[in-house]
Amino acid sequence: MDRLSEAFSALADPTRRAILARLALGETSVQDLAKPFDISGPAISRHLKVLERAGLISRGREAQWRPCKIEPVGFKTVDEWLERYRKFWEERLDRLDAYLAQLTGGKNPKKDAKASPSREARRGRKK
């Protein structure tokens, strides 16, 4: 399986997404990761193996401590794939805005009443 497919497969599971959300806060042990879940230790270990194989996390060993941390580079493939579609939809929305402005003679009652969010705001981030 290619890296992108492995990443999406790993992200498809809500438990693995919850694990990633916790790891986004910082490195932690496998034992601490398992605490909020009502599943066995071996099940957590299997989830971690899937995330590690997808390149989304890394696991280490420091004496008795087994730290896990998120690997931002592992998300790069997913982000690059999504970026193409993000651009596609932004261009579509821009064309729709232009078409609506043309139909209304440049006046959009909703847009005039309330400022339309910029492209960056629609994306949820600044450039």
Which domains, from first to last, does the chain contain?
3-70 (1.10.10.10), 76-123 (no CATH)
**pLDDT beneath 70, residues of the chain:** 1, 107-127
- Model-wide pTM > 0.85: no
Residues 77 and 127: their CA atoms lie apart, in Å, by 20
* C-beta neighbour count of 41 within 10 angstroms: 11
| Cα of 102 vs its chain's centroid, Å | 36
pLDDT of 10: 95
